[in-house]
Amino acid sequence: MKAHCLFLILAGCLFAGCAQVAPHTRPAALDALAAQFKADAGTNRLAVARKIARLMPACRVVYAHGWLLDWAYFGKDQSIDWAHPSYRLPKDDLIAALGAPDRARSFNVGCQWDYFFWRVGRDRRQDECGLYIHCYNGLVVSGGVLKTNTVQSINIHTTLTNSVIVRTNYIQ
């Protein structure tokens, strides 16, 4: 009975549009939304940023030994195919369309990683949000809207004298 209910919920989400699928071609609405995003700089543009994030390319998950072993290994048998996004969107085109980012970081570790951040305003709880875009070798591979005060990682270290050091890194 539970399996039937779960199947009906998943099927309902697929038909209702709850489960988002990344577009496979560059959406026509992206240019209009980007122009609106750029024109509304300095205002609360959270709704537009969420629409833009849904239109960003995505990369598929690749299983090394099949989904069954991935399930048996609790998700440790998968990786993301960064070299093949759902459609090609050069980072320079995106920056030209959205305007200069508020923050940009680049890392070159065997390949080029670029991270871009635009402040987009505050949500209903007055938390500041930002549009985050990730690029791999000059192509956009993912995007999303996150709260800027979200915890990225917490490191806990116990010293030899049994004192505890906690370091919290926030997304920014």
DSSP 19-74: S----SS--THHHHHHHHHHHTTTS--HHHHHHHHHTS--EEEEESS-HHHHHHTT
Question: Which residue, chain included where needed, has tokens 């697929």?
Answer: 14
Give tens-digit pLDDT for 55-65.
999 888 776 66
pTM of the model: 0.69
DSSP state of 84: E
pLDDT on residue 126: 82
Rounded CA-CA distance 110/107 in Å is 9
Q: What kind and span of H or E run contains 134?
A: strand 128-136
Give tens-digit pLDDT for 118-147.
999 888 888 888 999 999 999 999 999 988
Is pLDDT at 1 greater than 60 in this prediction?
Answer: no
SS3 state of residue 14: helix
Beta carbons of 165 and 157 less than 8 angstroms apart: yes
CA–centroid distance for 14 within its chain: 21
